[in-house]
Structure 1
Amino acid sequence: MSRADLTVLTLNLQQGKPPEQFAAGLAEIAALRPDVVLVQEADRGSLLSGRVDHTGLVAAACGLEHWQFLPGRSTWATVLPFLNPRRKDVGENGTGVGIASRYPATWHAHHLETKRPLPRRRGFHVDMDQPRQVLAATLAVGDTTVTVASTHLSWHEGVGEDQLRQVEDFLQTLPGPRILGGDFNQRTNVSIWPSLCTGPTYPAHRPRFQLDYLVSDLPAIRAEIHRFSFSDHRGVLAAVSIADEGQ
């Protein structure tokens, strides 16, 4: 049995804003040579983003041949939060989370529940949050299987932590070891798995607290936080070492 390093980056793309800096940011991401990129607030087919596929563009820039996208909301739901859009399937258009991978992947999607009351407006119960979800990929790294996942949790008090428990339960039905990344919207890591990298990530220009995490049941052999030319979040990068029985 030998060891294989896997380098994972997670980044909230902020829908590629500002768009004139997105190409420069893609080059900066590619320069890090990640094996897996986990993205949040990515668009696919959105008129507001020029109908681009952000996850596909990240994959192409980094030379990653396998990618997938799971929308959580439509463009109209972004503009009109009173709408309650249907849950969408993997590969549909909208705004959501994505994964780009160097390794072949089997894709798994799970939509998260909101189990606490959300704020009321003028006496009406209005969901002022957005649909939340997790996209996971079971990767074949040599003869070893590892599961990576991307999620973007609620900012409402207690709701995000409830959703994190749902994500963890879902991922434990998939093969380990596991690496979960995303915008947790929490200032401390409350996951059952330890953080691979600790440090402020938001706001990007002068970060004061950490919202973005990589957590895993594997230890990090290298961990860094990076600022890019676009996005109001900084990215979290970590390398882990996994057993590779195929080498």
Structure 2
Amino acid sequence: MTTSLRIATFNILHGRSLSDGEVHLRRFGRAVAGLDADILAMQEVDRDQPRSTSADLTSVAAEAAGAPYHRFAATLHGEPGVWSAATGEAQPGVAEYGIAIVSRHPVIRWRRLALPALPIRWPLMLKDRPPILVKDEPRAALAAMIDVPGGPLTVVSTHLTFLPGWNAVQIRRLWWACRHLPRPLVVAGDLNLRGRIPARLTGWRPLAEAPTYPLEEPVHQIDHILGSGPVHAVGPGGAVHTGTSDHRALVAEVSCGGAA
């Protein structure tokens, strides 16, 4: 049995619009609703942050999408500029930042996947300027086994580093962490790797291909929706300018079931 689903990934830039540099929850909600995604993976998600009106942006997105099942996974605690790594269970009333999944279909179970932290400062090449050494923020992935019509589907949301070379290490580690997760599997997120590089490094199949960055005149696809096992694109997919964030959202229409 097969079923058709609309899956999207969206780096939301904590709900901020480049048009005015502000966060408006209604505008953010309209952006999410306009994607009409059955399952949405999000990155750069705030919870209890003053810069985003101290809102729980995962809950805002879930309500806008009509998705009663959702989970946020913090990668950092604290406000920007005073970040600390997120460890253990989330503490109430503490500002956080991370990744999320919202789903219209029931989630059977959730799982957090660890990604390697970069213990040292890493050289970052800049155009027309000397390279600088930067320290990356912690990274993680959130997996959900979702009960879609036709059987379970595993969806993973992640946000990999922007540091060249280390993002390739992280996606290979993510591939290893996902090797025993049930198929069909969809990995969605801001991978900070261009074009078909993620597919070549993992063997996962692109389910949607379109440039997603920068927002107004995108020339690079760094946001991806990749499949493993019996999940296939049933259309070309595409990038959506939502009026929010500095990325376009990426949307895929997929069919689950049948031959892998």
The TM-score by the shorter chain falls in which range?
0.7 to 0.9
TM-superposed CA distance for 1:21, in Å, is 5.0
- Specify the code of the residue in structure 2 equivalent to 1:229: G
TM-score normalised by L of structure 1: 0.87
TM-superposed CA distance for 1:242, in Å, is 1.2
- Aligned residue number for residue 256 of structure 2: 242
Structure 2: state its 5+ residue gaps.
Answer: 124-132
For the pair 1:32 / 2:39, whether they are aligned, the reply is no
TM-superposed CA distance for 1:174, in Å, is 1.6
CA–CA distance in structure 1, aligned partners of residues 238 and 148 of structure 2: 23
- Aligned residue number for residue 87 of structure 1: 87
What is the identity percentage for the equivalent residue pairs of Structure 1 and Structure 2?
A: 28
Q: Which moved more, 1:35-44 or 1:197-206?
A: 197-206
Query: Contact 2:188 / 2:223 at 8 angstroms: preserved in 1?
Result: yes
CA–CA distance in structure 1, aligned partners of residues 186 and 158 of structure 2: 11
CA–CA distance in structure 2, aligned partners of residues 90 and 239 of structure 1: 33
Q: CA 1:69–1:91 in structure 2 vs 1: closer, same or farther (change >3 Å)? A: farther
Q: CA 1:86–1:94 in structure 2 vs 1: closer, same or farther (change >3 Å)? A: closer
Matches within 5 A, 1:214-233: 214-217=225-228, 218-222=231-235, 223-233=237-247
- Aligned residue number for residue 45 of structure 1: 48
Query: Contact 2:46 / 2:56 at 8 angstroms: preserved in 1?
Result: yes
Q: Deviations over 1:124-158 (max 9, x none)?
A: xx861100000010011135111001100011121
CA–CA distance in structure 2, aligned partners of residues 233 and 91 of structure 1: 29
CA–CA distance in structure 2, aligned partners of residues 16 and 90 of structure 1: 21
May I ask how many residue pairs the two structures share in their alignment? 236
TM-superposed CA distance for 1:32, in Å, is 3.3
Q: Which moved more, 1:127-136 or 1:20-29?
A: 20-29
- Specify the code of the residue in structure 2 equivalent to 1:51: S
SS in 2 for 1:56: helix
SS in 1 for 2:5: strand
Q: CA 1:128–1:47 in structure 2 vs 1: closer, same or farther (change >3 Å)? A: same
Q: Deviations over 1:61-83 (max 9, x none)?
A: 0100100000111234x314xx6
Q: CA 1:91–1:207 in structure 2 vs 1: closer, same or farther (change >3 Å)? A: farther
Matches within 5 A, 1:1-247: 2-18=1-17, 19-76=22-79, 78-80=80-82, 84-89=84-89, 93-105=95-107, 106-114=109-117, 117-119=120-122, 128-142=135-149, 144-188=151-195, 189-191=197-199, 192=202, 193-217=204-228, 218-222=231-235, 223-243=237-257
Q: CA 1:90–1:243 in structure 2 vs 1: closer, same or farther (change >3 Å)? A: farther
SS in 1 for 2:242: coil
- Aligned residue number for residue 123 of structure 1: none
TM-superposed CA distance for 1:25, in Å, is 4.0
- Specify the code of the residue in structure 2 equivalent to 1:206: E
TM-superposed CA distance for 1:28, in Å, is 3.6
CA–CA distance in structure 1, aligned partners of residues 156 and 91 of structure 2: 16
CA–CA distance in structure 2, aligned partners of residues 149 and 42 of structure 1: 15
CA–CA distance in structure 1, aligned partners of residues 5 and 156 of structure 2: 14
TM-superposed CA distance for 1:91, in Å, is 8.2
CA–CA distance in structure 2, aligned partners of residues 230 and 88 of structure 1: 31
Structure 1: state its 5+ residue gaps.
Answer: 121-125
CA–CA distance in structure 2, aligned partners of residues 91 and 107 of structure 1: 19
TM-superposed CA distance for 1:166, in Å, is 1.6
CA–CA distance in structure 2, aligned partners of residues 90 and 169 of structure 1: 26
- Specify the code of the residue in structure 2 equivalent to 1:129: D
Query: Contact 1:72 / 1:95 at 8 angstroms: preserved in 2?
Result: yes
* Cα-Cα RMSD: 2.3
- Specify the code of the residue in structure 1 equivalent to 2:210: G
